[in-house]
Structure 1
Amino acid sequence: MKLFRLLLIFISTCVAVNSFAQSSAELKRRKEKLNDELAELNREYDKVRKDKSVSIKQLNILRAQINLREDKIKTINSEVRNLDNQISENTNTVHTLQGQLDQLKKDYAGMVLFAYHNKSAYNKLMFVFAANDFNQAYKRLKYLQQFGNYRQRQAESIQGTQKDLGIKINELDRTKKEKRTLLQDQEREKQNLDKQRSDQAVVVSKLSKQQGYLKQQQRTKSKQISAINRQISSAIRREIAEARRKAEAEARERAAAERARAAAAERDNKPAPVAANKPKEITKSSSNSEVLNSTPEAARLSNDFLGNRGSLPWPVANGTITQGFGTYYIEGIKTENTGLEIRTAGGAAARAVFSGEVTTVGNISGTYVVIIRHGEYFTAYSNLRSVSVAKGQKVSTKQAVGVVATDGATGETVLHFDLYKGQTPVNPKIWLAPD
């Protein structure tokens, strides 16, 4: 039972350490990514700050920095929680090993004392020769040999346990040191966050003196987003209407063919043929979902797309969300965002988040929009300076569809990304893989 308990402790410790290592590695990878993004924003902000005139770009960079720094603090908190769990596990293991070591030493001390009282060869011989018969004498001799071997194994077990205990104590010390380092890093990030919030307040205060200009910029941006939303919604509505028209026409053709076959069978006095795998009939009362999933290929693509919810690749290789899904009020101007504003590097490629077919390539105020259909789902990529796909083209996951445009006034490169289920916009953030 003691051996079984030790084995159980060992297995549970290995599982806990393995899961901790995986989680810790993922958190460290995310923190490194956040550090890279923060470093890039810091370089860009330093360039912008040299210009004495305060700009919207400066405010946007500060907002992005604050969002990233808050994410980093959350990541550090998760790392600290993981380390606390590891410290608790190691502490328990140290106590267990210390208890085992104490018991081993106690047992060994008893054996040493017994051996001391029977240390002379004369006593050992007398113990063997005092046997009643040869069989008992042989057993006593084997006992003395086994006792000696057991003492040796106990000594080795003590040394091994001491070694394991030393390793675990060192590991515990390293984990505690790593936790202290993380807490120091967290404190620095909090100080930087407070400073950037103060800088943001100063920039907003200065921009408020240019309130008319600021509001005009926000109105312009709001109009651009509204225009993008309208065009995407109209394009998807047209695509659904065209899919319905085709499905209804195919249904009419099938019905006419069936009537012709039935009439021919009646003339020949034969039973009417029964169509195998008859597709679902699309009528004027059919829902948009039924229309868009009217073919087996479309239904399969819809299911595959839905199955990847929460793990779709980002529409840019590297980016930061600067405005999320929903309604926003900035400088008193209401903006209804049906997608995500994703800030990325200049010259970055927009890429398909899933395989599908390009249904629209359009122009909105000098920039392009690409819409891709994935069964009953649609993804839209707006604010492109150029496109690399054409209407009707099949695309694969992560295939480039165009290059994101850079705003000449602010110098920012922002992709507008939308996701629709039929004609209904949904929040793309919950569909994308964690950044």
Structure 2
Amino acid sequence: MKRHKIFFLFLFIFLGVQAYAQNSAELKRKKEAIQREIELLQKNLNKAASAKKLTLGEIRALNAKIGLMQSKITVINSEIKNLDNQIHENTNTVHSLRDQLGQLKKEYAGMIRFAQRNKNAYDKMMFVFAAKDFNQAYKRIKYLQQFGQYRKKQADYIQGTEKNLNNKIVVLDKSLKEKSSLLKEQESERQKLGKDKSEQSAVLNRFSKQEKQFSQDIAKRKKQQQAIDREIRNAIEREIALAKKRAEEEERLEAAKAKAENRPVPVAAKTKSNGAYLTATPEAARLSAAFESNRGSLPWPVAQGSITESFGRHKEGQANYDNTGITIQTAEGASIRAVFNGKVLRVMSSLGKYFVLIKHGEYFTVYQNLHSVSVAAGDNVTTKQTIGTVSTSGDIPELQFQIWRGTTAQNPEAWIAK
């Protein structure tokens, strides 16, 4: 029975270690990913600071960096909590193993004393011959054999338990040192966060002094973005109109063919949605369905980046504006990638920068603020294919990324991988 308890204790220890290792590795990966984003934003901030001109990109980068640092501290807290649980479990296991070891040694000592009393062959023979009958004598012989085997097994159990106890003590000591290291890291990150929040206050103070200039810049940017969005909507509407025209022409030809063959003329639907026209062909329908099935797992349009402005309504000072996509800060000269298979619908330029519109059935993706473009209208592209390089907006390399379903803008954060 005790052997079963020891077995289940070891099994519990093994499973606990496996679960802890997996959770710990996941937290470590998450922390490293956050740190890479922080370093990228800091690199952009350093470059922007050297220009000695405050920009909206710099403000967004600083705000995003502070958010990431708070997330990193949260991850460190989770690591500490994870370690505390493991330390608690290991401490309990050490106590349990020590109790088990004490009991095993006590039982083993009893067996040794019995063996000492019956150590010579004469005593063993007397023990056998003292039996009432042959059957009992046989059982006593088997007992002596099994006793020797059991004593050897007990010795093995004691050695195994001592080994596991020592290993667990080593792991416990390592966990305590790791916790101490994490507490130091946590304190260091809190100090950095405090410094960045002071910098944020200074930046916001500069912003308030230059609010009039920033309001003008925001109004200008808003006007430019509205013009680009109009071009995008117009391009999508033209594509819908062409799809509708093709569908109506096919219906007309089918009706004429049916009439010539003296067959009933197919009744065309009076109204169709834009999506129905855009997915009228089997290929377009499959592509659209495949795009939609990848919601939440589409690759990012850059290999490394951080979202510094989310989808929807925003306010800077007294100025309000809408972001029909997300703003991603990335590395200088970074390659911009198509997030899914599709066909390049338009390549347009505005104020010396490019934007690319790609069709995926009834869905469209838009990549704005490109310095150069490596595709042309009509090209078929594949997932993660490079379509251009990012431009620098006010000394900050930023990509404006959008997803549309027909003429309705979607929140890209709901579509790209976390």
- Could you say if the C-alpha distance between residues 52 and 236 of structure 1 is closer, same or farther in structure 2, counting changes exceeding 3 Å? closer
* Separation in structure 2 between the aligned mates of residue 418 and residue 15 of structure 1, nearest angstrom: 45
Aligned-partner SS, 2:369: strand
Give the match for residue 108 of structure 1: 108
2:335 to 337, 349, 354: 349
Give the match for residue 301 of structure 2: 315
Deviation at 1:163, TM superposition (A): 0.9
Matched-pair contact (CA < 8 Å) for 1:383–1:415: yes
Deviation at 1:243, TM superposition (A): 1.7
Give the match for residue 79 of structure 1: 79
Matched-pair contact (CA < 8 Å) for 1:227–1:364: no
Deviation at 1:12, TM superposition (A): 5.5
1:333 to 291, 294, 319: 319
- Could you say if the C-alpha distance between residues 100 and 64 of structure 1 is closer, same or farther in structure 2, counting changes exceeding 3 Å? same
Give the match for residue 97 of structure 2: 97
Give the match for residue 365 of structure 1: 351
2:403 counterpart of 1:419: yes
- Report the number of matched residues: 418
- Could you say if the C-alpha distance between residues 175 and 57 of structure 1 is closer, same or farther in structure 2, counting changes exceeding 3 Å? same
Amino acid in the other structure paired with 1:416: Q
* Separation in structure 1 between the aligned mates of residue 342 and residue 233 of structure 2, nearest angstrom: 18
Deviation at 1:3, TM superposition (A): 6.1
Amino acid in the other structure paired with 2:171: E
Deviation at 1:215, TM superposition (A): 1.7
Give the match for residue 383 of structure 2: 397
- Could you say if the C-alpha distance between residues 307 and 22 of structure 1 is closer, same or farther in structure 2, counting changes exceeding 3 Å? farther
After TM superposition, list the pairs within 5 Å mapping 1:164-179 onto structure 2. Answer: 164-179=164-179
* Separation in structure 2 between the aligned mates of residue 77 and residue 390 of structure 1, nearest angstrom: 49
Q: What are the ranges of 5 or more consecutive residues in structure 1 without an aligned counterpart?
A: 264-271
- Could you say if the C-alpha distance between residues 26 and 233 of structure 1 is closer, same or farther in structure 2, counting changes exceeding 3 Å? farther
* Separation in structure 1 between the aligned mates of residue 206 and residue 237 of structure 2, nearest angstrom: 44
- Could you say if the C-alpha distance between residues 377 and 86 of structure 1 is closer, same or farther in structure 2, counting changes exceeding 3 Å? farther
1:302 to 288, 295, 306: 288
Aligned-partner SS, 2:218: helix
Amino acid in the other structure paired with 1:355: N
Amino acid in the other structure paired with 1:365: L
TM-score (ref. length: structure 1): 0.86
Aligned-partner SS, 1:371: strand
Give the match for residue 253 of structure 2: 253
Deviation at 1:395, TM superposition (A): 1.0
Give the match for residue 159 of structure 2: 159
Aligned-partner SS, 2:122: helix
Matched-pair contact (CA < 8 Å) for 2:40–2:331: no
Deviations 1:249-299 (A, max 9, x none): 222222322332335xxxxxxxx8x9xxx9xx8645111232233233222
* Greater displacement, 310-319 / 286-295: 286-295
* Separation in structure 2 between the aligned mates of residue 245 and residue 18 of structure 1, nearest angstrom: 61
Amino acid in the other structure paired with 2:371: R
Deviation at 1:168, TM superposition (A): 1.9
Amino acid in the other structure paired with 2:230: R
After TM superposition, list the pairs within 5 Å mapping 1:13-32 onto structure 2. Answer: 13-32=13-32
Deviation at 1:314, TM superposition (A): 0.4
Amino acid in the other structure paired with 1:146: Q
Matched-pair contact (CA < 8 Å) for 2:337–2:386: yes
Q: C-alpha root-mean-square deviation of aligned residues, in Å?
A: 2.8
Matched-pair contact (CA < 8 Å) for 1:282–1:290: no
* Separation in structure 1 between the aligned mates of residue 215 and residue 94 of structure 2, nearest angstrom: 63
Deviation at 1:423, TM superposition (A): 2.0
Deviation at 1:122, TM superposition (A): 3.0
Deviations 1:283-333 (A, max 9, x none): 451112322332332222222222222211100011111100110011211
Give the match for residue 428 of structure 1: 412
* Greater displacement, 291-300 / 50-59: 50-59
Matched-pair contact (CA < 8 Å) for 2:44–2:396: no
Matched-pair contact (CA < 8 Å) for 1:244–1:282: no
Deviation at 1:224, TM superposition (A): 2.7
Q: What are the ranges of 5 or more consecutive residues in structure 2 without an aligned counterpart?
A: none
Higher relative contact order (CA 8 A, sep 6+): 2
Amino acid in the other structure paired with 1:75: V
- Could you say if the C-alpha distance between residues 8 and 136 of structure 1 is closer, same or farther in structure 2, counting changes exceeding 3 Å? closer
Deviation at 1:429, TM superposition (A): 0.8
* Greater displacement, 144-153 / 110-119: 110-119
- Could you say if the C-alpha distance between residues 7 and 155 of structure 1 is closer, same or farther in structure 2, counting changes exceeding 3 Å? closer
Deviation at 1:91, TM superposition (A): 4.1
Amino acid in the other structure paired with 2:208: S
* Separation in structure 2 between the aligned mates of residue 315 and residue 366 of structure 1, nearest angstrom: 21
Amino acid in the other structure paired with 2:374: S
Give the match for residue 232 of structure 1: 232
TM-score (ref. length: structure 2): 0.90
After TM superposition, list the pairs within 5 Å mapping 1:200-219 onto structure 2. Answer: 200-219=200-219
Matched-pair contact (CA < 8 Å) for 1:357–1:373: yes
Amino acid in the other structure paired with 1:366: G
* Separation in structure 1 between the aligned mates of residue 192 and residue 198 of structure 2, nearest angstrom: 10
- Could you say if the C-alpha distance between residues 54 and 386 of structure 1 is closer, same or farther in structure 2, counting changes exceeding 3 Å? closer
Amino acid in the other structure paired with 1:202: A
2:105 counterpart of 1:119: no
